[in-house]
């Protein structure tokens, strides 16, 4: 067990992980209410658009409502990403704390690889690689960002 396991460092890691958990979920209900409202606006706008003849002023306004609500839908998806990012940081802190309490010698490369493999977004992996680097995490699966950079937002197989 690391000598850090019996210091406030371990408790602080635990605290940070718990605070991230709370922060991520405190906003859930409100974001859900917001997304419901925006979703309803998209639907109402579409119904308005369908109810008015093409080329009329009302149809043009309805179309603008739909476009604005759709922009809001895109922007709101960043909350989902934020929650995922926070979960990945929380998991990393928890894994680090568990490593500090390990009774056997810690294989840090394995711990780091375990943290990295949880990431789902390219920029998370890139930031990890930039800060932690290949020396600390030599696992071959740790460095596949070159492939990630080739991705497209839509790919049909």
Partner 1 sequence: MTRMIMTVDDSTSMRQMVKATLLSAGYGVVEAADGQEALDYARDNSVDLVIADVNMPRMDGITLVSELRLLPAYRLTPLLLLTTESSMEKKMEGKKAGATGWLVKPFHPAQLLATLARVL
With CB under 8 A as the contact rule, the residue among 22, 57, 140, 150 that binds partner 1 is 150
Task: Tell me which of 12, 40, 127, 134 binds partner 1, using CB under 8 A.
Answer: 40
Residue 147 in the binding site for partner 1 (CB under 8 A): yes
Q: Does 107 bind partner 1 (CB under 8 A)?
A: no
CB of 49 to partner 1, least distance (A): 9
According to CB under 8 A, which one of 19, 51, 80, 107 is a site residue for partner 1? Answer: 80
CB-CB contact of 119 with 86 (8 Å): no
Provide the 3-class DSSP secondary structure of residue 77.
Answer: helix
Report the site for partner 1 in 115-134 (rule: CB under 8 A). Answer: 120-122, 125
| Among 13, 20, 24, 45, contact with partner 1 (rule: CB under 8 A) | 45
120 neighbors 57 (Cβ within 8 angstroms):
no
35 touches partner 1 by CB under 8 A: yes
Q: Which residues contact 65 (CB under 8 A, 6 or more apart)?
A: 41, 44, 45, 48
CA 120 to chain centre: 8
- In degrees rounded to 5, what are phi and psi of residue 94? -65, -40
Instruction: Say if CB 95 and CB 14 are below 8 A apart.
Output: no
Asked if 17 and 93 touch (Cβ cutoff 8 Å), the reply is yes
Sites of contact with partner 1 (CB under 8 A): 28, 31-32, 34-36, 38-40, 42-43, 45-46, 66, 69-70, 73-74, 76-81, 83-84, 120-122, 125, 141, 144, 147-148, 150-157
């Amino acid at each position: 067990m690391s000598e850090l396991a019996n210091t406030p460092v371990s408790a602080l890691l635990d605290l940070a992980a718990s605070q991230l958990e709370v922060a991520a979920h405190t906003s859930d209900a409100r974001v859900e209410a917001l997304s419901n409202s925006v979703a309803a606006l998209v639907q109402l706008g579409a119904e308005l658009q369908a109810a008015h003849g093409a080329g009329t002023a009302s149809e043009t306004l309805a179309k603008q409502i739909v476009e604005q609500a759709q922009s809001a839908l895109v922007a709101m998806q960043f909350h989902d990403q934020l929650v995922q990012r926070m979960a990945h940081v929380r998991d990393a802190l928890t894994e680090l704390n568990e490593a500090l309490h390990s009774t056997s010698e810690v294989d840090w490369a394995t711990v780091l690889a375990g943290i990295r493999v949880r990431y789902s977004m390219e920029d998370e992996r890139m930031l990890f690689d930039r800060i932690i680097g290949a020396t600390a995490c030599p696992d071959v699966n740790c460095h596949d960002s070159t492939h990630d950079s080739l991705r497209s937002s839509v790919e049909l197989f």
